[in-house]
A and B are shown apart, each in its own frame.
Chain A
Amino acid sequence: MTWARKVLSIDRRYIFLLVAAGVVLPLLRPLNLPITVTPRVQAAYDAIDALPPGSKVLLSMDYEPDIMAELFPMSVAVLRHCFKKHLQVIAMTLYPAGTGLGQQALHTAAKAEGAVLNKDYAWLGYKSGFQVVMIGIGENLRGMYPVDFYGTPLDSIPVTRGVNSYRQMAMVINLSGSSATDYWIQFAQGRFHAPLVVGCTAVMATDYYPYLSSKQILGLVGGMKGAAEYERLIGILGDARRGMDAQSLVHVIVALLVILGNLALFVSKRAGEDLGGRPAGSMTR
């Protein structure tokens, strides 16, 4: 058996071990790889940074724990930027299991920047129905949310007092891991013309490039890389920047594995080896 044949029939548990080492080692011993800021994240940062202090910003954190590795550090970074700029944040989620994460993100950012509930931010919690909620906010915020997550009427909360629709909000920020973003673009931006900044998972980011070039969204923060860039822009070392070392190493491992697999297949075919009547490289264990 040639080296190529051995490589092609390698036990996949060795690959798992390699990936595990690629994730764990940089977290234990950070490599501090440099983070370069891309134009889309810079645009998102600039749009938020240009808002005057005291502006109301609607932040919808539409994700659940499965993708929190990417979107939770992004939420904290965006919130910290808002609090640093003294923007007043009205936060909400369109996912039932997003309530706990939204609260955590608000508490973490508020603690770091000294922001106070109801004075600097309000937490509306979860409401079901994507487009219904988005249109409802555009028509009458109180019709959709008579009270906040804690049961306080919106008129009793300084942040939401006088806010009836998108017209009183300087910007809408949507951080999402689902099609919720499509609806925010269609309704909050398309129908009610609210300025919109989007943050999403890395795999989703390419879907929103057309909206960026058409100026329907002002900026795009994609995945943990985008969150790390945002952390760099606001000058903090958060979970995203720490996680980027591990992500970089795992990407390199996967790329090397793909190259190695193809090289082994090529050599194996050239040597005319019998691949056992099944496609080379198929799952053997």
Chain B
Amino acid sequence: MRRGPLLVTFLSGAAVAALFFIPNYKAQAVNNKLLEWTLVVYAFALILGSMSLWNSHARKLKVRAEGWPFSLVTLVSLVVITVLGIWKGVDEGSPVGRIYNTVNSPLASTMFALLAFVIASAAFRAFRARSVEATLLLITAIVMMIGRVSIGPIISPHLPGITEWLLDVPNLAAKRAIAIGVGLGAVSTALKIILGIERSYLGRS
């Protein structure tokens, strides 16, 4: 039963990988066509995602599960925004545009802004110099926090220079090592999927 998906994965994966390295215009035309198909897949994924969202929250609403009023808000928002968007458009002056500017935008910003409070409290309670490594991390964090903002040069004229060194030398070396490791890992995982060694994406059954 699994041979079909495995074959599709192998053929499409191998073809797209090979086409990337073939400069011939006919090969590139095939590559472009495959990329267009990806857009169609994205569009269907959006429909599938919306249906999944609907089913999940409708079920919660039906059995009055914990937090069901939130599910009701989600479903009403989904229907209202979809209908308004199709009916009146999504331009800045449209109802969807106004809802976006007056509801979505401030709510999303507020949620993210709350991080400042949580991080301040968590840093006070959990950021401890328990070992040499933790102490080094703590000192670096404090230097970066102060040195990277406008008040840094006022506290010490050396702070911006130290932060630049931290970013340009230790940070750069670590990031390069991580990037190379991640790149090799991604190639290895892709090969395992294309060759059918890694099959977890097919599910358990």
Chain A contact residues, CB within 8 Å of chain B: 12, 15-16, 18-20, 23, 33-36, 38-39, 64-69, 97, 99-101, 103-104, 107, 128-129, 132, 135-136, 139-140, 143, 150, 202, 206-207, 209-210, 213, 225, 228, 244-245, 247-255, 257-262, 265, 280-283
Contacts and interface: CB of A to CB of B under 8 A. Distances in A.
B117 A19 contact: yes
A254 B107 CA distance: 25
Contacts of A244: 149-150
B109 A247 contact: no
Contacts of B117: 15-16, 19-20
Given A66-B111, A206-B167, A35 B150 contact: yes
B16 to A, nearest CB: 11
Nearest to A99: B90
Given A100-B101, A129-B39, A228-B150, 5 more contacts: A15-B121, A16-B117, A101-B105, A261-B123, A261-B127
A262 B151 contact: no
Contacts of A283: 125
A251 B149 contact: yes
Nearest to A177: B112
Contacts of B172: 209-210, 213
Contact of B151 (A20, A33, A64): A33
A16 B121 contact: yes
15 contacts: A16-B120, A19-B116, A19-B117, A33-B150, A33-B151, A34-B153, A66-B111, A104-B101, A132-B35, A202-B148, A254-B119, A255-B145, A258-B124, A261-B124, A282-B126
Among A35, A69, A100, find the residue whose CB has the most chain B CB atoms closer than 10 A: A100
Contacts, number: 160
Nearest to B171: A206
B116 to A, nearest CB: 6
Given A65-B109, A254-B120, A36 B153 contact: yes
Contact of A225 (B36, B42, B148, B154): B148
Interface in B71-96: 90-92
Contacts of A39: 164
Contacts of A128: 39, 42-43, 46
B38 A132 contact: yes
A64 B108 contact: yes
A213 to B, nearest CB: 6
Main secondary structure of the interface of A (DSSP, over half): helix
B27 interface: no
Contact of B160 (A36, A107, A253): A36
A257 B39 contact: no
Contact of A65 (B39, B105, B168): B105
Interface in B94-144: 97, 100-101, 104-109, 111-113, 116-117, 119-121, 123-129, 138, 141-142
Contacts of B28: 139
B120 to A, nearest CB: 5
Given A66-B109, A206-B167, A97 B150 contact: no
A136 B35 contact: yes
A121 B119 CA distance: 40
B55 interface: no
A128 B117 CA distance: 34
Contacts of B50: none
Given A12-B121, A33-B151, A281-B128, A210 B145 contact: no
Contact of B129 (A67, A213, A249, A262): A262
A261 B128 contact: yes
